[in-house]
């Protein structure tokens, strides 16, 4: 199954990279975290329904799924392709960002 990233998800990845690489001055951590996120997304190609349905997490009838990868929540939807919608820090109120 094909994976695509929305512009918002690409911006999330850029912000994650910038935070670790420039704010914390730790390019090794940046590479490690981005590699881990890419591996988690790659797992979805063969197992697109492995993440939890957002409606179970939120109690609302909303489409999409979420997968935890380290400190991050990968929010995605499955149609003909897997659309990565957002990649958010699980330590913040990511539900407020989503809704």
pLDDT value of position 84: 97
The answer to whether 94 touches 88, Cβ cutoff 8 Å, is: yes
pLDDT value of position 5: 98
pLDDT value of position 95: 66
What are the domain boundaries of the chain?
A: 3-98
CATH superfamily of 3-98: RelE-like (3.30.2310.20)
pLDDT value of position 61: 78
User: Tens-of-pLDDT digits for all 99 residues of the chain?
Assistant: 899 999 999 999 999 999 999 999 999 999 999 999 999 999 999 999 999 998 887 777 778 899 999 999 999 999 999 999 999 998 887 666 666
- What stretches of the chain show up as alpha helix (H) in DSSP? 7-18, 27-46, 54-58, 94-98
pLDDT value of position 74: 96
pLDDT value of position 85: 95
Distance (Å, whole) CA 89 – CA 93? 8
């Amino acid at each position: 199954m094909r994976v695509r990233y929305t512009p918002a998800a690409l911006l999330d990845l850029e912000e994650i990279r910038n935070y670790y690489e420039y704010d914390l001055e730790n390019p090794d951590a940046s590479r490690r975290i981005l590699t881990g996120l890419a591996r988690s997304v790659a797992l979805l190609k063969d197992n697109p329904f492995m993440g939890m349905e957002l409606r179970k997490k939120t109690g609302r009838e909303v489409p999409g799924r979420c997968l935890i990868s380290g400190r991050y929540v990968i929010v995605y939807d499955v149609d003909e392709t897997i659309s990565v919608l957002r990649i958010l820090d699980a330590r913040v109120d990511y539900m407020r960002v989503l809704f």
